[in-house]
Every structure is written in C-alpha cells, then in structure tokens.
Chains A and B, each alone.
Chain A
C-alpha cells in the first residue's frame, strides 16, 4: 500500500508542473483533497486492511494529506503571485498630458500698444487719449496743414460734416493736450485712426497709431534720436540699428522718417525690406513753430519733438504677419498665436 501512497504523491508533483492558473490549482486541490478526492478515496481503503495495519496506514495517509495540502497551497501562492499584475488596480501613467486651463489672449494690437507704453512710461511719458470724431481744426489747421493740402480732400479723409471728420492721425491729441496743459509735456497717445483706403493686404480704412510728444525748454533733435533709439532697441532688440532720413510733415520741422535695420534679413536685403536692408517704422520731427503758435506756446522758449507710428505695421514687422486684415478678422487660430 505504501507504493500506492508514493504513486499519488508523484502524480501530484507531475500535475503541479502543468498548472499555471489559480483556477487550475484550486481544481487540483479539489481533485486531491476534496470530499470525493483521491486522499479520501485512500481513507476508504482503511476498513479493508488488516486491523494491525490500519493505524499505521491511517497515519501515513494523514501525513500525505498534509504534504499534499502544503504542495497545493504553495502552488496556489505561486500561480496567484504570477497573475497579481493583471488584477491589481490600473497603473498611473505619469506621462499623460496635463489638463491645461483655457487661457485667452490680449489682441496683438493691444499687446504692441502695451509694449510701446511700457517703454515710454520708463522715459516719463504719460498716456493720454483724444476723440476719434474730430473737428477739422485739430486734424489739420492747428497742425499747420493748409486748407488746400491734398490730405484734406474726400479721398484721404472720412468726413461726417463739413468741419467734422474721423481723425486721420493721432497727432490731433498733441493739440488737445497742449491747449490744456503748459510745458513740460511728455505724452503718448494711442488710438484708432481712419482713412478711406480700400482694404487689401497692406491697407485698412481703420488702423491704430501711437503719437508721441515731448515739449520742454532745450529739447533737441539729439533728444528725439535718443528717445527713439531707446524705444527701437527695447522693442525690436539691442542689435537693431536706426536710421533717420529727412522727410516732410507739415507739423514738424525738421522732419524725419525713421528706419530700422531689417529684422528679417539683418540688413542684408530681403523681400520684407524690398532688398534695401531697412524698413520704415515711424515718422518724427521737431514740432513746427506754427503748431506752437496755434496753442499759444512761446516758440522761442520751448522746443519739442513729436513722432507717430502705425501699430499694425510695427506688429506685422515684429511677428512677420503679411496681411493686415488678419487683425480685424479675429480668427481665434490667429489670436491664439500671440
């Protein structure tokens, strides 16, 4: 009978080798240790044995039972351990993208105006505003633009009535401020201006300008250059160069157009700068004595300079935007880039 017991044990050991899942291991446990299992069947053999052998055999079957239980439990533990990763709660994936809060953007024109204000605020310039619907006087006469000047025609200015118009330049604010305030004056005036230009990639009937004015005793052309140079280096970059060209505006004398070295090609010449290496960014000059006369300033005592720049133009240059219409279409895909 002893052989029988050994056979059971070796069978079990063979069977355990093929078991990989907990379920199969449980089945194996039932097969050997269940109520109708192999071990119980061995127990059933006892009554048939001679009396003197019964006790010893019973002991050995019990021992085997414990052995088998240990083997199977060990097996269960083993196969269970192997499946743990599959049934554990999901793994946290630290590489998943974060949940980004949705943040809006200031309009690029506002951003440029803010940048300009920031530079000039550091130089002591206050921000002021003026009306967009203006009297002809402020847009022209007071700015030394004679009655027969071409810019005063219907082709170049939107009129509401004979002497009321939509300002075509923010220079109007110069006059309004000087009428109210005595020197010293240091202001910039951002705002919308209007000109009857047919809309295309480079023109818009409405756009933004920033006007600047500095009036005091002893303000010179050298100061104008200093202030503009500071602005250009801060806004466009320290390695950008500035160039002034003589030009003509009725309200400044001497007048200048201010160019910067092309930021796209670094001055070597490209399509943005028409292969000249320079791009025009603003007009400036010393306030014409006739303007001081219009606001009853002592033109001998005070000198000053004024400048004006197109905000769209500067923004387009800075970001390489080639169609002005994008600013007013307000496509979110455009606005989100700045």
Chain B
C-alpha cells in the first residue's frame, strides 16, 4: 500500500520526518519497504499484513500513528446536505444474493461535468502510483486510498431500465471490463447487472459499457460490501485483480460504507458542481454485531511478561478507537470498532496493547527454567556418520527430493510400487517424490565433471518416499558415490558399520540393477535376514570417466542397530600367533565360503581369519585361483607355540574341497 506523506498529515498531526515516520510505522507492524521522494512529497510503500485491511486506507494508517505517537485524528467532511429530487426517481436497486453482498449503497449525482480532476488530487494520486483519469474516477480512487473502501461510479444513463440488480451471472453472459479484458462469466460469479446485462463484476471491476466517460452527465456511485471468498474466487477465476478486489478479499469496514459514500459524493459535488439526489439506497441483509471483549490485566501480564499499567493499556486501546465500556479493577470491558474484523478474542487485544506499547519495550528475559536435553539416537548416528565420512574426504551434498520421471530417477530399490507424483508440479523436471538418492548423486557427479572436478566422493542423508497407505513411508537413506574401486568403498562401509557399533555379519548377495550398477559387481547387503542396503560399481551405461561405486543404505535400520554402549575388554597378556596359508580353489569359490569353511571348523584359539591376496598366474592351473590368508591364534593364559603343521592338522576338519559359494 503506497501512501503520500503529505496526504497522511491531513488526518493526523505529526512532527516526524518521512524516515522517522517509517520507523514508527515499522515498529507497530506496518513495515515501510521503501521511501521515494515525489516532487515536494514522499511516497511510502507500506507492507500491510493480510489481517489488517483497515490499514489499506490512509486513515487507518493515521490511526496507528496517532495511537503510537499521540495526536488527534481528523476525519474528512462528509456532510452532503439535502436535495429535492429523491434517488428513487432514478434507480431501482435489488440485491438477490444478500449473503454474497451483505450491504449495497448507491447515491446519485446529476448534472456533473466530467473534466480532469483538480491539480492537488492528481498530484496525490500520482504520488501513490495511480494514474489520473477524470474527476469522477479520480475521486473514487482518492476516497478508496483515503478510507480503504472501494467505490465504483456508473454512467447512470447507460444503465438499462434504471435498474441495478446484484445477482449471480447467467450462463452465456460475458463482460468487457474497463481494462479491456473480455471475459465469459459463470453462474458462481456475482455480478452487478442492469435491466439487461452484467455491468460490473462485483468487487472486482466495472464494465466498459457503463463506465464514466467525457459525455457522462449523471452518475450512480456504488459503495458496497462483497463477501471476501466470493471476490477472491471470481478474481482468480477471471484472472483480473484490482485495487478493489485486493481490498474486498481482505474485508472492508461494514459500518463505514455509508460514510465513505457520503464523503465521495461530497467531493464530487465540490469538484464537479453536480447535484446530489436526495436520499440513498442502502440495502443491508444483516446488522453488524458489535463484538464485546474483556481484557484481564493479569492475563496481559502473563502473556507479555511485563506489567503494563492499566492506564497505559486503556490509553492504547482508546486511541485505537476501541470503545471502553468499563475499566474497573483488573478488567477492561470494551467494544471492538467495526473496522477491526481481525479482533475477536482477548489474545487479540493483548497483541494490540503489545504492538503499541512496543515489542522492543518488552523486557528480554535472561533466564529460563532448567531442562536437560540430550541428543536423540538419530542425531547421534547422523553425526557419527557425517564425521566419519568427511574425515575420509567425502563431501556431504543436499539434492532435491522432487525429481523428474526419467528412467534413471525411477530406480526404486526399496519398494515395488511406483513413486508418488505431485498433483500440481511447477515443471515436469520436479514432479515426483524420489524413491532413491542415487540418481541425484549421479547427477551431482556429472555436474561436477562438467565443472572441472573429475574425482569426487560424496554422500547424502535424506529421505526417499515410498508409496504407503494414507501417507507415504518416508525412509531415511544414506547414499554414497565415490570414485574408488569396489573393495575400497566396501571397506569404508564395513568400517562405518563398525563405527556405529554394528558388529553383525553382512551377507553380500549378488544383485542386478543394470542401468545403475555394473552387472556382477553389485550386491544386496543383508544383515540378520534384513536388507541393509545396496552396493556396487557404477554401471558403464552411466559413462563416467572414472571407476565409481555407489551404495544406498537404510538409515532407519542403522539407527536401530547402532549401539554406542562401550565396554572395556582386558588387553591380551600373551602375543598372538600368525600363520599364513594359501589355498588353490576353483574360480567360482568365493571368499565368504572359504571363510565360513574355516570358521565352521571351530578351531581352538583361532581368533581371526584375514584375507590378504588372490593370485592367478603361472603356477596356478587355469580356472583356479590361489587365495592367501592369514590366521590369528591367541590364548588368554599362555603364549601359543604352534607349528605350521599343527595349524594344518587343527584345520583338518575342513573339507578338502570347499563348496561353491551359495550366493
């Protein structure tokens, strides 16, 4: 809402520079976004919150300043005098939709001369960004800016059958609005019609056929109240917004309408020499119920945390034009002015007092009660993982949860169901909730590739969204993309689990997801029969220049399984004995089956079985490989003395041929 500094001073006496005024307004909640000098005046651009339509008129803003700064309010002249010819001679108004139009007033001014408006008015309108048109239109705009109440002037002689009917539009009707837009109207829209056709879209914009023009001699001035939602819906549906619709959508002062109408016709009479017809059309479907509220001083103190004196509170409320009925003891009984539709409860009054008292005058308390807070397990696990990975040179990334529907994005490791689509996406590129983080990491790798970073190690902790019953299942995942070989990233994942206190053994089961992971180098990782995640080398189809590995792990599972309870184990008193062994096996035999074979022998003192090399070459028959491993034996009570032969005999229960890996 743009206001003129000089114009404002007409309603309230202030000794403030434009900047000082802006600061005062900001402090009461009317943020001044900009101050621009305009000739000998200043234009202040004020951000009015949606609950304060009363401040969409300069008088409303003057009221706030008067309350904050002291000083009297001055209201403009509204005396319209009396006339001989009654309005009923010229117009017949009926309201068919009293709920959508609770109040409709009309006045008639005859024998006007349409000319440019006076210089002073044009200057003020220009200052607040309105283009002067002619004296009638300018006066309706001027009074709207002054009071916040929109008005519309019709060319009386162009209204068919001397009728105004407030009704719903009929099928097939259309209108050309004064901005030139032709619109088909629908039966859920409220219009102002004459005897034949719609002449205005109620609360939104008038029609071009009945607009005031140079030849207009007699006018009908409409000043009404239209239901907020109705105006908003119609305005949106037709794609027409106006200063009127903006104000009607937010709500106008239902009790101020007649006064505003009087103010406008008085100005018209003064500026155009017209003759005001006697009487007024004033149709109202309901009486405005004055709201009564009680403010308890004790409650005021409790909510604000400061003892605002009773006199101070009463003074503030009076200046805001609340009608104090009773102010005995610890209660203030009052009536809410009709222009404050936003106030209906005690808490609303508390805000009013706080606003004018000054938020910045309320003390800043420096102590609160003791309450301990500990990190929850999710935080601990996430922190641990982040610290672990960044220590290893990984960067954490954050990518969008809403993705496109390209095939890569369709990767869904966790559910058979399709991803969840947004009903009203902005663009196709962001239309579906993702089911995996890996495609986003792949895109991040590509982005960096194109910006000169070839080698990358990144991870993200975020949710994937899996179709569920009412709400989707939001599963938090840890996904990693690293330009390393398979075993390096696998080792990192193993260490990570270890770091979280997860010691259960993982099974690595061959897995196939061709567009994403390289065939035969991808695994589903399982622990205690539950899938922990997926792991593998990036598919060649992704055309990376480097060898990259990907993994996506179930964070919810990691959080559940993690265990940070630590217990000291006494250090071994006696040294371990290491023995190395190489065995030649078929190519198909996996390490995990060899390891299982050895551990299944339950050999005494055998503490660890460690892989250290695989060899294929001259001495090894083709189709076979040599696996070198290292065995660690240890006893708690003595130094073991084990010869190689003893080791072998101890392992004698090991089958001479190791079965092919199952999985």
Interfacial residues, chain A to chain B (CB-CB below 8 A): 101-107, 109-110, 114, 117, 121, 123-129, 131-135, 148, 150, 153-154, 158-161, 164, 166, 184, 186, 192, 194, 196-198, 205-206, 216, 218, 220-223, 225-227, 229, 242-248, 253-257, 274, 286, 288-289, 303, 327-333, 335-336
Contacts and interface: CB of A to CB of B under 8 A. Distances in A.
Interface size class of B (residues with CB under 8 A): 35 or more
Contacts of B350: 253-254
B376 to A, nearest CB: 6
A245 B362 contact: no
B228 A254 contact: no
A16 to B, nearest CB: 62
A327 B395 CA distance: 13
Given A248-B50, A254-B355, A333-B451, A221 B362 contact: yes
A160 B402 CA distance: 12
B26 to A, nearest CB: 6
A245 B355 CA distance: 8
B389 interface: yes
Contacts of A222: 304-306, 362-365
A205 B364 contact: no
B447 A329 contact: yes
Given A107-B397, A133-B472, A226-B366, A121 B390 contact: no
Given A135-B471, A205-B402, A221-B304, 4 more contacts: A104-B395, A206-B402, A225-B359, A330-B458
Contact of A330 (B364, B378, B397, B472): B397
A224 to B, nearest CB: 8
Contacts of B472: 133
A166 B373 CA distance: 29
Interface string B127-155: 00000000000000000000000000000
A225 B351 CA distance: 15
Q: Which of B52, B398, B400 has the most CB of A within 10 A?
A: B398
A119 B472 CA distance: 33
B404 to A, nearest CB: 13
A103 B348 contact: no
Contact of A245 (B347, B359, B456): B359
A196 B424 contact: yes
Contacts of B398: 107, 109-110, 327-328, 330
B446 to A, nearest CB: 11
Contacts of A135: 470-471
Interface in B387-434: 389-402, 420-426, 430, 433
Contacts of A247: 29, 49
A244 B397 CA distance: 34
Contacts of B386: 106, 110
16 contacts: A104-B389, A107-B397, A124-B373, A128-B376, A132-B401, A132-B465, A160-B421, A221-B354, A221-B362, A225-B362, A226-B366, A246-B354, A246-B359, A330-B399, A330-B447, A335-B395
A332 to B, nearest CB: 5
B369 interface: yes
A132 B463 contact: yes
Contacts of B178: none
Contacts of A106: 386, 390, 396
B474 interface: yes
Contacts of B462: 192
A220 B363 CA distance: 10
Contact of B372 (A124, A132, A198, A216): A124
Q: Max chain B CB contacts within 10 Å: which of A105, A128, A330? A: A330
B84 interface: no
Nearest to B27: A245
Nearest to B346: A289
A206 B373 contact: no
A221 B371 CA distance: 19
Given A126-B373, A229-B364, A330-B448, A255 B351 contact: yes
Given A132-B463, A133-B433, A226-B364, A159 B423 contact: yes
A169 B97 CA distance: 38
Kindly name the residue among B375, B379, B395 whose own CB sees the greatest number of chain A CB atoms within 10 A.
Answer: B395
Contacts of A107: 395-398
B445 to A, nearest CB: 9
Contact of B457 (A104, A133, A154, A218): A104
B401 A225 contact: no
A334 B97 CA distance: 60
A324 B374 CA distance: 32
A109 to B, nearest CB: 6
Given A218-B302, A222-B362, A103 B391 contact: yes
A104 B420 CA distance: 33
B360 interface: yes
A15 to B, nearest CB: 63
B354 A105 contact: no
B31 A245 contact: yes
Contacts of B236: 153
A220 B365 contact: yes
Contacts of B351: 246, 253-255
Contacts of A160: 420-423
A225 B360 CA distance: 9
A303 B354 contact: no
- Residue of B374, B393, B424 with highest tally of chain A CB at under 10 A: B424
B299 to A, nearest CB: 8
